[in-house]
Every structure is written in C-alpha cells, then in structure tokens.
Amino acid sequence: MREKILSLLERNSRMTAEEIAVLLGSGSDVIAAEIRKMEQENIICGYNTLIDWDKAGSDAVTALIEVRVTPQRGQGFDHIAERIYNYPEVQSVYLISGAYDLLVILEGKTLKEVSNFVSSKLSTLDTVLSTATHFILKKYKDDGIIFERKKKDTRMTITP
C-alpha cells in the first residue's frame, strides 16, 4: 500500500487522501493516516513542484561538480558531505562509486557565482583533493518528466 501511495504522490503531490483512496480502493482515513505516518518517519520529506526554470525566464545556471576527497577517520564521507551540503546554494549532494567521491549539484545565479563557490568554498576545504565542474546546458528530463513534450492524443476518437 505504501509503495502505491508514494508512487501516486511522487507524480502528483497535490493529490488528496480522498482521491488516492478512490484510486486504490481504500478508505480516505486509512490513506491520510498512512501519509501522516510516512511524513513522521521522514519517508515523505517534502512536497515539491517540478519547474522548468528555463521556460520561467530564469538565468540561473546549474553545475554538476565532481569532488574527490580524503575520507576522515571515524566519519567516512559523512562529515565532509555535511560541510558541503550546509551551503544553501548546494541543491544536492550524492556519495558516488567510481572515479570520484561526491557529486554536488549547485544552483547559482551566474557563472561567476558558481566559480566563486568552487574556488573559495569548496576547493579550500582540507579534505577536498580535486574538483571538476560541469555546467548543465539543457534539461531534457527531470524526475521522470520530459520537459519539452506536450502529449497530444492522436488516436481516432471512436474505435471498436
């Protein structure tokens, strides 16, 4: 049940408990209680809106930064990750397997802001060995949603 509720909310966080109850053939009290529980357990961590900022006219740039670090005794990567994710301009931080350790997604208003962040805040951390910054040029698909495509129903209106 939880998984079904979550996959509905993941697609449309505005769906009410009543609506979800109809779709899943359950009671709205049951669904509302389940959602509340998942909020308390931090399974549901928030209700976001997926925005195509490009279309909204925003000039903000997004950068993916690969970061190689030295893990610290007793704390692994968690401590250094925290030092990075506490910056509000940092949108996401992932621990990654492979050629580098942390993937940092950064939103800045301008290119300069991003490069300032990397040179003055990120690179100066003791444990950071190196960084590689990639700027995102275009978002095609985010969180399972394809931005450009507006689906049009091209089926015939009546078929047997």
Partner 1 sequence: MKELSGRNLLSKKADSLKPSGIRKFFDIVAEMDDVVSLGVGEPDFDTPWAVRDEGIYTLERGKTFYTSNAGLRELREEICRFLKKRLGVGYDPVQECLVTVGGSEAIDLAFRALLNPGDEVLIPEPCYVSYTPCAILADGVPVPIPLQEKNEFRLTASELEEHITDRTKLLVLPFPNNPTGAVMRREDLEAVAKVCLEHDLYVLSDEIYSELTYTGEDHVSIVQIPGMRERTILINGFSKAFAMTGWRLGYCCGSSRILSVMTKIHQFAIMCAPTNSQYAAAAALRDCYPEVLKMREAYDQRRRFLLHSFRKMGLPCFEPFGAFYVFPCIKEFGMTSEEFATGLLKEQRVAVVPGDAFGQSGEGYIRISYAYSLDALKEAVGRLEKYVAKLRGGS
CA–CA gap between residue 63 and residue 133 (Å, rounded): 7
Q: Tell me the closest approach of the beta carbon of residue 140 to partner 1, in angstroms.
A: 14
Decide if residue 155 touches partner 1 (CB under 8 A).
yes
| Residues paired with 141 in a beta bridge | 146
The 3-class secondary structure across 105-124, one letter per residue, is: EEEECCHHHHHHHHHHHHCC
Q: Tell me the closest approach of the beta carbon of residue 19 to partner 1, in angstroms.
A: 8
Please say which residue, 89 or 142, places its beta carbon nearer to partner 1.
142
Which one among 2, 4, 134, 141 touches partner 1, defined by CB under 8 A? 4
For the chain, how far is it from start to end, CA to CA, in angstroms? 35
- The site for partner 1 (CB under 8 A) is made up of 4, 8, 22-25, 153, 155-160
